[in-house]
Structure 1
C-alpha cells in the first residue's frame, strides 16, 4: 500500500485507477510462475478485454475538462514505474496466498495474523528509517479526533481481509482479481449515479464491455461438460452377449 500512496505524488488519480484495473494480467502471470497454472487463450482474452473496457471508462469522461490528460499531476516515468511495481507485488501477494491455502491447508485467521504482523514490522521500520514515527505520533496527539477515524478505518480494513482471504481460498486469485476489477468500475458507476455525474457514450461502451466479458466468462465456465464415454477393456466385446 505504501507503494501506491507514494505513486500518487507522481501520477494523477485516474492513471492510478487505470493501472489498478489491469490487475488480472499480473495475477495470471504470477499464477503461471508460482503455481504452474496453465491458462487458456480465453482467460488471457477476457483479461485484456476487461482491462480495455475499464480503460475506456476512465479515459473518456463526459466532460473533457476533467480528462486525466488535461488535469492532475504529470505522469512521470518514476510514477509509472511505481504503479508497475504495485501491480507486480499486488498480483504476487494474492497468488502466493492462494498457494499457501492450497499447499498447507492454512486457516484464514492464521494467514491474516502473520501477514498483518509482517506489515506492521515493515511499516514501523519504514517510519523509523524515514524519521516519520515521531511526527506521526505527534500528529495523533495534536488531533485526538483523528484517532476514532483511524480505528474505524482499521476495523473496516481488517474485516475486509477476511472476505478477501475467504475469496482467494475458495475461488482462487484470478477470481479475486476479477472481483476487484469489477469493484473499481462499480464504485465509479455508483459515484456517478449518487452525485449525478453524466456518463459519456464511450463510458457506457466501456461498462458494457467489462460486464459483458465477465458474464460471458462466467457462463462459459459454468457450462456443463459432456461426460467422457469409457472405452471397453482390451479383449472384451464392445457389445454385451445375448443370452436369449
Structure 2
C-alpha cells in the first residue's frame, strides 16, 4: 500500500515537473515570438519609424546568452576553458548568425505564420547535411514526413496571402522572403549538424558550447554591424525609441530563459517530449500572431498548417512509440545531450 502510494506520488510529481518545464518553454518562447514580430513588422513612435537592423537583435541576444552561460559554468563548478578548437566554435557561430539574421529579415517580406511554418521544414536540410557530413541513413518514414511537410507548406503558400504588410510590392516581397527562409533552413541545418559533430568529437558540456558559440556569435554580429554601417543607426534608433530597446532586451531574456527550460527538459525527460512541446509552441505562435497582429489565414492555409503539424506530431509519436519517454541518464560533469539536444539545446536559433 505504501509502495503504491509512493509510486502514485512519484508519477504526480513527474507530471507536475513536465507541466512546469513545458509551460516554461511555451511561455518564454511565445513572448520571444510576439516581440520578434512586433519589433520587425510594427512601427515605433508617432513618425512610424521601423527597426531595420536584424544583426543588432542577434548581438543583444548573444550577449545575454553569454552572460547566462558564464553564470551556469561558474555555478556548476565547470571549467570556462574552451574544449574544442576555436575554428569549431567559429564555424557554428558564423552559420548560426547567418541563419538567425535570415530568420529576422524574412519577417520584412513574409508573414510570421509562413516564417514559422518554414522553420518547421528544418528537418529537410538537417537530413541533407546529416547524410553529407555524418553519413547518416534515414528511414523511408522520414522521407515521407519531409514530403508531407513540404506539401503542407506549398498548400499554405498557394491558398492565401503570405507577404508582409511592410512591403508594397507583394511579388518581390515573396521572392525575397522565400530566399531568406531558404538561407535560414540551409545554414540552420548546417549549424545543427556541426553542433552534433562537436558534441560527439569532444568531451564537451552543453554550457561550454553555449558560451563559446555565443561568444564567437557576438564577435561576428558586432563585426557585421560595424562593416555594414548598421551599428550607429541602430544605436540612434533605440536612443530615439527606448521602447524598442526594452522590447529587444525582453526578447533576448525570454529566449535565454527558454534555453534553460529546453536544456533541463531534454536532460530530465529526453528529446521526444521536447519535440512535442516545441511543435505545440509553434502552432500556438501562429494562433497568437493571427489574432494579435491581424494575420488571418484562409481555409486552405489552415489545412496546410494542419498537414505540417500533423506530420510533426506523428514524428514525435512514432519516436515515443519506438523509444519510451524516460529521463536522460547523466554522464557526470560533462553532460552530452543526444540527437535533438545537440541540435536545439545550446542555440535554439533565436
TM-score, normalization by structure 2: 0.50
> Is structure 2 residue 224 aligned with structure 1 residue 130?
no
Give the Å deviation of 1:195. 8.3
> Is structure 2 residue 208 aligned with structure 1 residue 110?
yes
Q: Which of these residues, 150, 163, 166, is aligned with residue 51 of structure 1?
A: 150
Measured against aligned partners, the alpha-carbon deviations of 1:203-235 in whole angstroms (never above 9, x if no partner) come to 45334433433343334334459xxxxxxxxxx
Aligned equivalents of 2:289, 2:115: Cα separation in 1: 17
Aligned equivalents of 2:263, 2:194: Cα separation in 1: 11
Measured against aligned partners, the alpha-carbon deviations of 1:2-35 in whole angstroms (never above 9, x if no partner) come to 23334455x4336544533321101111122222
Aligned equivalents of 2:224, 2:164: Cα separation in 1: 34
Secondary structure of 2:137's partner? coil
1:206–1:217 distance in 2 versus 1, CA, 3 Å: same
Question: Please, which moves more after superposition, 159-168 or 126-135?
Answer: 159-168
Secondary structure of 2:171's partner? coil
Which residue does the alignment assign to 1:119?
Answer: 217
Which residue does the alignment assign to 2:180?
Answer: 82
Aligned equivalents of 1:204, 1:193: Cα separation in 2: 14
Q: Which has the larger radius of gyration?
A: 1
Give the Å deviation of 1:41. 1.1
1:210–1:85 distance in 2 versus 1, CA, 3 Å: closer
Aligned equivalents of 1:27, 1:187: Cα separation in 2: 23
Which residue does the alignment assign to 1:21?
Answer: 120
Aligned equivalents of 2:182, 2:304: Cα separation in 1: 23
TM-score, normalization by structure 1: 0.69
Q: Which of these residues, 126, 129, 138, is aligned with residue 39 of structure 1?
A: 138
Tell me, which stretches of 5 or more residues in structure 1 are unaligned? 62-66, 226-244
Aligned equivalents of 1:8, 1:213: Cα separation in 2: 25
Aligned equivalents of 1:145, 1:198: Cα separation in 2: 27
Contact 2:126 2:189 in 1 (8 A): yes
